[in-house]
Structure 1
Amino acid sequence: MIAGFFCGYLLHSRVVLDVLKNRTYRLLLPYLVGVPFIVVGPYLTVDFWGDKLVHVPFFFTLVDEGLLHLNSGHLWFLFNLYEFILLLLLLFCLKIYSPSITKLFVHPVSLLLLVPVSILPALMTEYIPFRTPDSLYPQLWSFGLYGILFFIGACLYHHQSVINRMVGWITPLLILGVSGSVIYCLAMPAPATKEEMYILLSGDSLMGREQTVLLQILQCFLVVYLSYLALALGKKYWSNESQVMRYCADASYWVYLVHIPIIVNVQLPMIDLMWSAWIKLLITLTVTLSVSFASYHFCVRYTWIGRWLNGERKKVSTSVPVSS
């Protein structure tokens, strides 16, 4: 939704061709550069750690047996986002994405009822919990879920007063979100076994794991309502100007790009250590965030990489008065 909101902002402030160039440069090119590393990364990881671990992850077995399909890893978001932007640009050129039309999609009845129902067909094609659309080609169900949420975010840019109205929904959304999440977690099926994973990766369906319509409906409402809750909380508590929040926002793109390789190489050496899972989690978070933000500050923010990902960032020089 937030990505759609800011795409609406770009369309409001720039011509279509400039938006296309900007998003191609900022999203598609980083994706194209990053995908080769995602493709070869698992094999390099297995080659380096394979003979060093006693407890070998199941992931390594999949790589060794050639069952790991080519995918975009965590960069799936960039690919899908670029697809949605192209579609929104088309709607804009066809005069469909306009304030007079988008107001229909941000009516309370639409937001609270029609949007959750509209994503149900897409999620009915997936297991619970649904996977990430990480294929190297467009996936239709992703448009039916993430694409709809992106479009709603773009509509909200035209009608920002609706976000202010959502602030008044915080309490009911919080109650529904927490209670629904508890029910969802209790009803969620057990993780797939290794045998079932082999079946899934071979392209076949799992018999006996079909989900009830009621659980899928609950999942749809949770996805949408928790997204609204996040928007409302952000509007109420984090909408004021803050240098710290601005810095974190600038760094977030880089942190997103590099966090998975860091996490993998922090966690693998700890697999054979009989430490508490909480200690391992604390170490993983500390090292990942420290390396991510340090590399951003010293290697990215004021370099060509930073200009590529976020645009120009000028160093602020502080003048110190000298007494005569």
Structure 2
Amino acid sequence: MKKERFCYMDNLRATALLLGVVLHSVLAYAPRSTNGWISSTPQQYEFFDYIFLVLRPWRMPLFFIIAGFFCGYLLCSRSTFDVFKNRTYRIFLPYLVGLPFIVFGPYLTLEIWQEKLTNVPYLLTLQEQGMVYLNSGHLWFLFCLYEFILLLIILVYLHLYTPSVTKFFAHPVSLLFFVPIAILPALMTEYVPYLTPDRLYPQAWSFGFYGVLFFIGAVLYQHQSAIDRMIKWIAPLAIFCVVGMIIYCLEIPEAPSKEEVKLLWAGDRLMGNEQEISLQILQSFLVVYLCYLSLALGKRYWSKESQVMRYCADASYWVYLVHVPIIFMIQMPMIDLHWPAWMKSAMTLTVTLTISFVSYQSLVRYTWIGKWLNGERKRNKVAVDVSQ
């Protein structure tokens, strides 16, 4: 039986992951993250703050909705045990393999660069002082994703993931009001903008935020007419998101100071420091509505298969797994160079994407690594006209 494809979902998932490469390429040069990024430099560019603020509310939430959608598809087309084996093999094992490099990488970075740099990043100083907790870095999403998959499998066994049960969550009132309100308590426990659940153990707030969105994605697979309905909401969603994003960027608290960054890495979420309930409510609705707008635009305009986007979708998982170490290897030697921030970020992004895609094509796509991460890919055979 031919595997069903959802081209717009593949395209959106690839876009969400590849935008992560863009985001992480500019964080070293964004004033908001200068105290909290391991390769930050004295050269800063305020425009990069807005890239951070615009992408932050919806990029990974959209990814988790899409991941939930595809998990729903798997659970409806395979046995739960097959889904468990598949997701363990392709999500949890890559996490376990990559985790040692992410956990101990900062210590290696400290050992190599601390004595060589004139402008030592503040986070590197905190690392030397033992003030940075062990974390899963950018691989946090794999750990959370695996947790949510296991919970969804449990819901299947409890007969709580069926169209008759989930139809409540697919109702327009639920999608437009219940979902933003449901994630608000989790966001209320976090700094604004919310951080990442990158601890080496489950964090309750991640279930109340990303877990809820993952479940909504699984619901949307069973009620795909809800996504079709979102297409009719494009105009009002776009107006709300544009106006809301402007307010969000204007009202967001100042970037955390060095002392506040130190407290954040110590586990203090700085609750009470400029945490306005109105901003938290706006953030929760922005998160959800930006995701809906992305789904609606994707379904409306991006449903046709494209060979370029198909390739990017295939490569995006590998690219995202390897891009952060590559970014650090590129940015650390440039810290003391007096180049403009835009030039450093452009070089970072270009070289990172080049290395990531070339390594995917040459080392991953048609090898055991590619089969492990994405399933087997067969080379296209070139047809030869023997009549000529």
Q: TM-score band (shorter)? A: over 0.9
2:363 counterpart residue number: 299
* Native 8 Å contact 1:119 1:220 kept in 2: yes
- Partner residue of 2:126? 62
Higher mean alpha-carbon deviation, 293-302 vs 210-219, is at 210-219
Q: Deviations over 1:100-120 (max 9, x none)?
A: 111110111000011001111
- Please give the per-residue CA displacement for 1:213-244, whole angstroms capped at 9, x wherever unaligned: 11100000000000111111111222111111
Change (3 A) 1:207 1:252: closer
CA distance in 2, matches of 1:156, 1:304: 33
Stretches of structure 1 that go unaligned for 5 or more consecutive residues are: none
Q: Quote how far apart the aligned CAs of 1:302 are.
A: 0.6
- Aligned residue number for residue 34 of structure 2: none
1:162-204 deviation per Cα after TM superposition (whole angstroms, max 9, x unaligned):
1111112112111111110110111111111111222333344
Aligned to 1:159: 223
1:31 counterpart = 2:75: no
Tell me the equivalent position of 1:264. Answer: 328
Name 1:120's counterpart in structure 2: 184
* SS of match in other structure, 2:85: helix
Asked if 1:235 corresponds to 2:281, the answer is: no
Identity, % of aligned positions: 67
The equivalent residue for 2:41 is none
Q: Which residue of 1 aligns with 2:386?
A: 322
Note the 1:1-324 alignment, pairs <5 A.
1-204=65-268, 206=270, 209-324=273-388
8 Å Cα contact 1:9-1:157 kept in structure 2: yes
CA distance in 2, matches of 1:118, 1:208: 21
Tell which has more relative contact order, 1 or 2 (C-alpha 8 A, sep 6+): 2
Quick check: 1:167–1:233 contact (8 Å CA) kept in 2?
A: yes
Take 2:173 and 2:225, find their aligned partners in 1: how far apart are those partners? 16
Q: Could you give the per-residue CA deviations for residues 119-161 of structure 1, whole angstroms, max 9, x where no partner exists? A: 1110111110111000111111000000000000000000111
Contact 1:127 1:210 survives alignment (8 Å): no
Query: What amino acid is the match of 2:98?
Result: G
> Aligned AA for 1:230?
S
Structure 2: gaps spanning 5 or more residues = 1-64
Residues 70 and 221 in structure 2, CA contact (< 8 A), matched pair in contact too: yes
Instruction: Name the CA distance, whole Å, in 1 between partners of 2:347 and 2:265.
Output: 32
Q: For 2:170, what is the secondary structure of its paired residue?
A: coil
SS in 2 for 1:103: helix
TM-score by length of 2: 0.81
RMSD: 1.2
Cα distance between partner residues in 2 of 1:66 and 1:47? 13
Quick one: structure 1 residues 48 and 10, their matched pair in 2 at CA, closer, same or farther if it must change by over 3 Å? Answer: same
Change in Cα spacing, 1:122 to 1:208, as seen in structure 2 (3 Å) is closer
Runs of 4+ in 1 over 4 A off after TM superposition: none
How many residues get paired? 324
